[in-house]
Chain A
Amino acid sequence: MPVILSKRVNIFCHKNVFSQVLDRLHEIGIVQITRYTEDLGEPDHTVNPISKKQDIILQQVKYILDFMSPFAPKEGMLKKMMEGLPEVSKEELVKSLESLDYEKIYNDVRDLNDRLNGIRNKREEIEIIYKELSLFENLPIPCEEWGPTEKTNIFIGSIPKLKWPTFEEEVKKFSDEIHLEVIGEDPRDVRFYLLVLKEKEQEVLSILRRNSFSQIKPPPNYTGTVSDVLSQLEKTKKILIEEEAKIVEEVKELLKYKDKLEVVYDYLSILKDRENVKKELYWTKNVFLIEGWVLESNVDKLKKELKSLDSKIELFVFDPPEGEVPPVELNNKRYAKPFEIITKLYSYPNHREPDPTPFVAWFFFVFFGMCLTDAGYGIVMALLFWWAIKRFKVGDQAKLFFKLLMLGGISTIFAGALTGSWFGNSIDILPQGFGFLKTIKDFIMITDPMKNPIPMLGFSLLLGLIQIFTGLFIEFFSNIKAGKAKDAWMDQGSWIFFLASILLLIAGLPFGKYLVMFGALIIVLTQGRHNKNIIAKIGGGILSLYDVVGYLGDTLSYSRLFALGLTTAAIAMIVNTIMTLVSGAPVIGFIIGAVIFVGGHIFNLLINALGAFIHSARLQYVEFFTKFYEGGGIPFMPFKIKTQYVKIKNP
């Protein structure tokens, strides 16, 4: 499927209609606006169309919303997705700014924020003091007396328990000049107070310091004994908590404006985008020039839209000049659309090559199912994502992703049913009376990889060969199309022949040996042709025979399809086995068994669905794309309306 290329577009309009034109372009969202061509010089300085008016309001509204968000009631993810964004008409959007006194709300919020921060800081301060003081609760000396007197000084604090014995030893010699009293201890520290005569203060202090003394300061603005202070602190804390609760109530009162503010926010960001894009434009005193890209498929629509606005708008659409790379957009049929995600994850196709998505779609579909290989899981996935597509109001990209996973689920149902895996071996362990299910299961099943792995392994490798050959053929035909028939035959044709002859030899074709020899000869003769002299040519050719190892590795790489599928089935079987063992226990055995069954299978589904996705994608990227795909395309990113909180109703 070819990609949609974009064309260069230049739109000239008079300043009277300019803002209308820009608004319309923003609304229809089909033009990617680019910076004006340098050759034109600078836009006219005397005209300044860029307004900054909305920037300040936008910042204020953002400030309010950020402040409010922790106080708003939390909405569940599921509920949010099911309800989707609220819809707002264009008129409501424009009016939203007038209907709200955002400046008053902003000032209120600033005020509330300041008060709240003040209270929180104070509370933190009190917590710290409280924590420190509470260790000295039984200190008999009132706080206001924690200082020097005429003849004595006092030290209150703690020393690490390890140092305590040395400290006691060292101060012994001052036993007449000091009074030392321990008031508490814990495994780490010993807390005490120490009265000392002033003449010995310095000596005692140096002993204290040597022993890692940490002193506590009297709490500022408090009097009374420590336990008095503690109860005062407690009281203050209570008051602060009450005040904080009051402020929170006030904030909650303001929450009623949240919905309106969100509309304002989105409206202002749309306006801001519109102003920002003007920086890319060129203008003279009277005329504006909008340069950009438009997809080929949208050229007519763009012309019609602009002509209906004003007949004097000039529009030039032309092919990009040499050296400019046009952005591309993928364009697939409905069935392949979800698989664009896989292609985009690797790289957009460049503007010279076709989009590989239709091939990727089929291969990814089959591979995903083979990696998961459990009909039960497939049903769960398919139903879950079918429901999600029906019920969730999410963006188009998310819907496509859901669709991709739903298709993966469907593929998994097939793969699982054909290999007889339904939540592992759960059908086999059902009680008697359900035997008919087993009959049905066995009837659909064509191979059991648990008993005989070889057929599934062979099938995985066969799929690999099909994909590798597909890749070679794609490159072969695109070379032919590009007029490089020689390269097509020599680079792809030779390998296709050589690899096919090897396969025929393995399959037991009687004269296969000669075909392989002939193929190898072709490889040796063609692959070194870019080298200069004859020896290098042949040497290069012989060396490139080694690439056959690469093809072998590529093919074997597909064995992961089988291995991952088997992993899912095997772990599912382990879950079932554990469940059977547990549910034998009386009374609660059934409940535990059910929990293990549900939890175990959810875990297995999650981990293996992730693996299936990654490995199916990897096979596309490493084994398939390397054969033909260049990538490196630039995605088309139109200038269009983006909103965060609301969805704009289509008129």
Chain B
Amino acid sequence: MSLGIALALLGAAFAIGFAGAGSAWGIGIAGAVGAGVLSEDPNKFGQVLLLQALPGTQGIYGLLVGFWVLMKIGFLGGTPVEVSTMQGLAVFFASLPIGIVGFISAIYQGKTAAGSIALIAQRPGETGKAIVLPAMVETYAVLALLASILLLNGIKF
């Protein structure tokens, strides 16, 4: 196995690992608050679950980028391609945006979602607004995902 392949795998692992860890963190924050609200009013389960799930997308974006990398270097079905050290490094760099932004944005989205859960505990009629606030944070994860995909797409083997 060449160093190029190893670097590309590092990129995939970085994207999946950090974005996923951030999502786990964020969902944990939102879930802790959600459980408190449910102890008062179990009927809000649907809304609370919805809000708790919001920081979960970063993990999926990370998985997607990781998967994309694996596909590109032929690790998932298909024939493995030759990856030079420079190409591998480029793949690693391309994985950075979703890894970093995914990690941080998921945590902050989790905090916002926790706040939104507290909001619907007080005002159940405001679910729409409660969903919008955490979704604002996610925008940057989407942009990072986009950046990672476009960067990856630009690397030619």
Binding site for B on A (CB under 8 A): 344-347, 450, 453-454, 457, 553, 556-557, 559-560, 563-564, 566-567, 570-571, 573-574, 577, 580, 607, 610-611, 614-615, 617-618, 621-622
Contacts and interface: CB of A to CB of B under 8 A. Distances in A.
A571 B60 contact: yes
Given A570-B67, A570-B68, A614-B50, A557 B128 contact: no
Nearest to B129: A346
Interface string B40-78: 000000000010011011001101100110010000110
A566 B150 CA distance: 13
A567 B60 contact: yes
Interface of B: 50, 53-54, 56-57, 60-61, 63-64, 67-68, 71, 76-77, 127-129, 131-132, 135-136, 139, 142-143, 145-146, 149-150, 153
B149 A611 contact: no
Contacts of B129: 346-347
A457 B56 CA distance: 22
A563 B153 contact: no
Contacts of B56: 607
Contacts of A621: 128, 131-132
Contacts of B131: 345, 614, 617-618, 621
Contact of A563 (B50, B67, B132, B145): B145
Contacts of A570: 63-64, 67-68
Contacts of A577: 76-77
7 closest A-B pairs (Cβ-Cβ)?
Answer: A346-B128, A345-B128, A618-B135, A560-B142, A559-B146, A567-B64, A621-B132
B61 A614 contact: no
A571 B127 contact: no
Contacts of B142: 557, 559-560, 563
B153 A454 contact: yes
Contacts of B132: 346, 618, 621-622
Contacts of B153: 453-454
A82 to B, nearest CB: 21
A467 to B, nearest CB: 16
Contacts of B136: 622
Given A610-B50, A614-B135, A615-B135, 14 more contacts: A346-B129, A453-B149, A556-B146, A559-B142, A567-B63, A570-B63, A570-B64, A571-B63, A577-B76, A580-B77, A607-B53, A607-B60, A614-B54, A614-B131
Contacts of B68: 570
Query: Main secondary structure on chain A at its contact with chain B?
Result: helix
A345 B127 contact: yes
Contacts of A346: 128-129, 132
A457 B150 CA distance: 10
A305 B129 CA distance: 40
A614 B77 CA distance: 33
A560 B132 CA distance: 15
A615 B139 CA distance: 10
7 contacts: A345-B128, A347-B128, A563-B145, A571-B64, A574-B63, A611-B57, A618-B131
Nearest to A613: B50
A615 B50 CA distance: 12
Contacts of A453: 149-150, 153
A261 to B, nearest CB: 23
B58 to A, nearest CB: 11
Contacts of A557: 139, 142
A457 B67 CA distance: 18
A10 B53 CA distance: 48
B148 to A, nearest CB: 10
A454 B76 CA distance: 22
A390 B151 CA distance: 48
A458 B150 CA distance: 12
Contacts of B71: 450
Contact of A553 (B67, B76, B139, B149): B139
B76 to A, nearest CB: 5
Contacts of A615: 135
A583 to B, nearest CB: 14
Contacts of A566: 64, 149
A347 B126 CA distance: 8
A367 to B, nearest CB: 13
A299 B131 CA distance: 37
Contacts of A580: 77
Contacts of A563: 61, 64, 142, 145-146, 149
A300 B60 CA distance: 55
A439 B71 CA distance: 23
A31 to B, nearest CB: 22
Max chain A C-beta neighbours (<10 A), residue from B50, B76, B128: B128
B53 A610 contact: yes
B91 to A, nearest CB: 16
Contacts of A611: 57, 60
B48 to A, nearest CB: 13
A453 B131 CA distance: 29
A80 B19 CA distance: 41
